[in-house]
Amino acid sequence: MLVIEHQELQTIDSIYVVAVGVKEGTTVADILRVLIQKGRDRYVFADIGEGCRYWMYTFAGDLDDDGLPNSREAVMKAKEALPHYWPFPPGTLPVQREMANGTFF
């Protein structure tokens, strides 16, 4: 997860970006509180070495449930994007790809 406060949200090597902002006054401590309360700091990747998309999908829902994002539509767009593979070059149609689920413990 990347937490930034910057005008430029996309790097030169980004293929697809969904920006999800947070409500005014949200602090890193607020985000960490959700992460720790939900146990998202205790995670083992799937046996194939994947699972970060599943972690992000789950945590996006956690943040939304807590009311931190400033746009529910942006959260939904992120959750719709995560089950896809976004090939190079930018603008190429995405490919549906099953998410490998790691395990929260």
Give yes or no for residue 75 having a pLDDT over 90: yes
Stretch 69-76: mean pLDDT, rounded? 95
Q: What is the pLDDT of residue 89?
A: 87
Displacement of CA 82 from its chain's centroid (Å): 8
Give yes or no for residue 96 having a pLDDT over 90: yes
- What's the pTM? 0.84
What is residue 40's DSSP assignment? T
Q: How sure is the predictor about 9, in pLDDT bands with cuts at 50, 70 and 90?
A: low
Q: What is the pLDDT of residue 70?
A: 95
- Please state whether the peptide bond connecting residue 87 to the residue before it is cis, i.e. omega within 30 degrees of 0: no
Q: How sure is the predictor about 38, in pLDDT bands with cuts at 50, 70 and 90?
A: very high
Q: What is the pLDDT of residue 12?
A: 67
